Chain A
């Protein structure tokens, strides 16, 4: 079945530094979605990418969808303590609207 993998599983970042987390799907995706879950909270929808090679920015967050539509990345610049949380990517299953979530990247920020 479809698998969505995320690396790294954990990311320890010094406040102010940049980092990137990666998402890889075993199958081509019609779109990729990113969610953020704060500690003790619930996932919150961040963005959806649809086009091959698409790049979208949300303030310090840059999302990219690979040319083959099988991978994606999230790059955060000048990390802040508010960026703490787990970032999940998710892609729709082959049929229907169900999402397959990656394992998530847990981000910890050192002040």
Chain B
């Protein structure tokens, strides 16, 4: 099956610093990847769609200058949370699109901003 990895799995950072999260499709090429945010016991909230070789498409209300997305290759997308604040603490999950538009999710990154 399709495998997607995410790194780091857990990160604690100080307020004002930036954090980069990597999402890799390990056994397939993913032209499109997605970044979600999930609060405890809630559903997935789509933040942005990451397309290889082009600019990401952000959902309404998501600050593109705060959540920088780069999709430089068919197997790697990165999300950088810039100048993180405590309210950015959350579970961030990426997914890669499969052949029938299904999505394969990474294990997620739990970000805690102190």
A35 — which chain B residues lie within 8 A by C-beta? 103, 105
One of A55-63, A73-81, A100-108 contacting the partner: A100-108
User: Are B101 and A97 in contact, with the CB atoms below 8 A?
Assistant: yes
Which residues from chain B contact A101 at a C-beta distance below 8 Å? 43-44, 46
B93 neighbours in A (Cβ, 8 Å): 42-43
Interface residues on chain B, size class = 20 to 34
Complex interface: chain A residues within 8 A of B34 (CB)? 98-99
- Which partner residue on chain A sits nearest B102 by CB separation? A45
State which size class the interface on A falls in: 20 to 34
Set of chain A residues within 8 Å of B101, measured between Cβ atoms: 31, 48, 92, 97, 99
- Which A residues are in CB contact (< 8 Å) with B41? 106
9 closest cross-chain pairs (CB), A and B: A42-B105, A101-B44, A45-B102, A43-B105, A103-B43, A101-B43, A97-B101, A42-B108, A42-B107
Footprint of A on B, CB under 8 Å?
A: 32, 34, 41-44, 46, 49, 93, 95, 97-98, 100-108
